[in-house]
Amino acid sequence: MEDRREEPVFLEPVVSVCPLGDATAVDVRVVAANVQAVFDLGVDILERSPLPEEAFLADRRQYDAAAVLRHLDAMVRPPFRKILGVTTVDLCIPVFTHVFGEAHLGGRAAVVSSFRLRTNENGFKASIETYTHRLIKVALHELAHTRNLVHCDNPRCLMHFSPKVNHLDRLPILFCERCRYLLTQDWRRPAGMG
């Protein structure tokens, strides 16, 4: 008699999640699990990596997100096509006082920072649920940028620009129909095509 039990399906690893500096193991696992579930992709967690020293901007007491992305980009190895860094440090880019995360449009690397996600606009500490939702939203948003998605005009789409945590809190952990379609088409391209 034939055994009809289904074999488990193992997704080819596509995205690696890298803890940077003091990133917590819980945050890294939450981000990895949500990337795998939302994008239906194989995800693996890399060994912890120190933050690049050259990324620290002493005058701003922040880390240059572009330098962190260059560090991550150099870490991409097959079979992974993308890398997502998770960090606790305050990130910035020249034109903004801070960023929750950063990615190069169509690039291989993205980063999310928990630094400003733990506090509400009123200065009080956010609940663990609110904090976790913020972390997931920023991670998914930034990773979608690496798949060529730009900011979306739809205020109910995860790709909508959110400069403050209260804006981030209003977003669902969902992409609008248009962005979801674009992501699905893009992830299905064969390896080596982006």
Catalogue the active-site residues.
142
CA 29 to centroid of chain Cα atoms:
12
Nearest 5°: phi and psi at 80?
-75, 145
Buried b (16+ CB within 10 A) or exposed e, 49-76: bebbeebeeeeeebbbbbbbbebbeeee
Question: What are the residues whose beta carbons fall under 8 Å from the beta carbon of 188, sequence distance 6 or more?
Answer: none
CA nearest 143: which of 179, 115, 170, 119?
179
Buried b (16+ CB within 10 A) or exposed e, 102-130: bbeeebbbbbbbbbbbeeeeeeeebeeeb
DSSP designation for 68? H
Nearest 5°: phi and psi at 104?
-90, 130
